[in-house]
Amino acid sequence: MLAAEDRARLKNSGKPIVPASFPPIHGTLVQGIYDPGQDPQLRDEFSITNAWAGPGLGAWEAVDAGSIPIATGEGLTNHGDDTPAILVFTGPTDPDSALPQTIVGTFKPNQALRGQFTITAVNGTTITLSLSGSQKICHFDASSLTFR
Residue-wise pLDDT for 113-147, tens only, equals 999 999 999 998 899 999 998 999 999 998 888 99
Q: Give the Cβ contact number of residue 77 at 10 Å.
A: 5
Residue 38's SS3 state is coil
pLDDT at 94 over 70: no
Domain range list for the chain: 2-147
User: Which residues lie below 8 Å from residue 52, measured CB to CB, with a gap of 6+?
Assistant: 32, 33, 34, 62, 63, 65, 119, 122, 127
pLDDT of residue 144: 87
Pairing mode of beta strands 59-68, 137-141: unpaired
Residue of 126, 3, 134, 135 lying closest to 63 (CA atoms): 126
The pTM of the full predicted model, rounded to 2 decimals, is: 0.74
What confidence score (pLDDT) does residue 93 get? 64
**pLDDT above 70 covers what percent of the chain?**
65
The contacts of residue 96 (CB under 8 Å, 6+ apart) are: none
CB-based contact 89:13 (threshold 8 Å): no
